[in-house]
Amino acid sequence: MVKVGFIGLGKMGLNMALNVTDKGWSVVGFDANESAREKAKAKGLTVADTEDVLLSQLDEPKVVLLSTPAGPTTNGLVKELTDKLHAGDIIIDSGNSYYKDSQENFRVATEKEIHFVDCGTSGGMSGARYGACLMVGGEEAVVKQLEGFFTDLAIEDGYLYAGKPGSGHYLKMVHNGIEYGMMEAIGEGFAVLEESDYDFEMADVAKCWANGSVIRSWLIDLMVDAFKQDPNLDDIEGIIDANGEAKWTVQEALDLDIPLPVIASSLYVRNASKIENSFSNRVVASLRNGFGGHALYKKGE
C-alpha cells in the first residue's frame, strides 16, 4: 500500500481519509485552514502543516488526493502540484469538478508526465466515512494501480472505472442532475401534503414511505430525521444553493439536443428560492443538509 496525501480535510476529505485509514492505508493530510488541520489531528490523522511537508512525507510515486472546492481552487492547485511533483506521480481529484476542467487538468498534468485521475464521489459525509460511491475516470493502467485504494474507499459494488479522462466527473455531473430532480419531486410532494385539508404528521408519512414504498430511499430516510427535529421545518429558510452540477448537466443536454424538463425545472426552482420561502424548498434544503452538510439557512440568522 502506498501512502496517500489528502489535500482538503473538510466534510468529505477528512471522512475519506479516516475511512481508508481504518482499512490499513497510510495517510497524511493537509488543509489550508488551521482549524480543519486541528480537527483532523484530534481525530487521530497524521497532518502536515504545509503542502510541501505533506509532499515530502509521501513515497514514490507520490499519490495526492484533492478534496477541494471545484473550479479555480482545484484547477489552481493542480497547476501548482504539477510544478512540484515528478513524472509518474498521481493526482486524484475527488471533488465535484466540471468534467471539461478535468479534461484540461489531465492535459496539464500529462505535459509533465504526471498522471491525473478524476473521481466522482457520492454518498455524502456518511458515505465518505463508511463507504462511498465512486465513479473514476482516467488512463486505465493508472486507475488499475489505485484500484485497491478505490475499492477500500467505496461501499461494496460502489466503485466503477468509468473510462477515459473526464468520464468520472461526467458521470457525477449527470448523477447530481438526477439528484436535483429527485429532491425537487420530494419537496413538491410534501408541499402538497402541507397545504391539504388533512392533518398529516410529516415524520410519520416519511417513515411510512421509507418502508416498502416504491419511492423508499435514503432521501426519504433523511426526511424522517428532518421532520423529527422540526415537524414543520419552521426554523428553516427555503433557500437552496446550487453548486453547478445541474447547470452543467442542462448545458450538456442542450449541446446534445436532449430534453431535461425535470432537471432544468429543479435548477430554476433553486434560483427562484433566493426570492421566496416555500415549504418544498425547505424540504429540499433539509435534504441537502442531511446528506452533504450543505448550508442550512435558519430564520433570524
Looking at the annotation, which residues are catalytic?
Answer: 172, 179
Return the SS3 of 119.
strand
Q: Comparing C-alpha atoms, which of 277, 280, 267 is closest to residue 299?
A: 277
- Distance between terminal CA atoms of the chain? 47
Number of H helices, E strands in the chain: 14, 8
Return the SS3 of 86.
coil
Q: Which residue has the cell 504545509?
A: 50
DSSP letters, 174-234, are HHHHHHHHHHHHHHHHHHHHHHSSS---HHHHHHHHTTTSTT-SHHHHHHHHHHHHSTT-T
137: alpha, beta or left, given left = phi > 0 and alpha = psi -120 to 50?
Answer: beta
